[in-house]
Amino acid sequence: MSTRIIEIEDAKDGEITEVVYEHPFIVRLCHWVNAIALFVLVGSGLQIFRAFPSFGVKIPQKDLINWPKSLAIGGWLGGALQWHLTFMWIYIASGLVYLCYQVFSGNYKQVLFGPRDVPGVWPMVRHYFLFGPKPPSKESYNSLQKHAYTSAIVLGILSVLTG
């Protein structure tokens, strides 16, 4: 993992502040694009679910969870579908950019969880729950961090495949 430190001067008092970037710009960009895309996908998905005509008889509106209309993006079924399909492509494109960056930079070797990471899981769980000391690590990411990154990638791919 490459750490990048940038010094920024405060305009008012001239004080210098160090900003530490632990992840490359492309990883941070993909993270925030995905966060926005997922927010819109959830909102438009709620509107699609609410407006879908087949649910009218099977699931009466009074039995549905009554979420605020402000969380349902699109306003109606057609609008929600347009938002949903647009941000689906943004989500896919961002995921592909992230995966290509990981492969071409070779960074995927640092973040993927593998069989050699299994023995380090329980010591890190004990440490996170304040039951033991932090295990020594020679790598940029510990076993649980690698598991989280790998799970996020797998779940992202599954969310695209299942819609």
Length of the chain: 163
Predicted confidence at residue 75, as pLDDT, reads: 79
Predicted confidence at residue 50, as pLDDT, reads: 78
Predicted confidence at residue 22, as pLDDT, reads: 80
Predicted confidence at residue 74, as pLDDT, reads: 82
Alpha-carbon gap, residue 45 to 73, rounded angstroms? 8
| pTM recorded for the entire structure | 0.77
Predicted confidence at residue 26, as pLDDT, reads: 94
Residue of 160, 108, 116 lying closest to 138 (CA atoms): 116
Beta bridge partners of 19: 6
Predicted confidence at residue 1, as pLDDT, reads: 52
Residue of 8, 33, 5, 1 lying closest to 21 (CA atoms): 5
Give the CA count within 13 Å in the CB-facing half-sphere of 94. Answer: 22
The SS3 of residue 7 is strand
Domains of the chain, residue spans: 25-97, 106-163
CB 84 within 8 A of CB 74: yes
Mean pLDDT by 10 residues, the chain (163 residues): 65 75 89 96 86 65 64 83 96 96 91 91 89 82 91 94 87
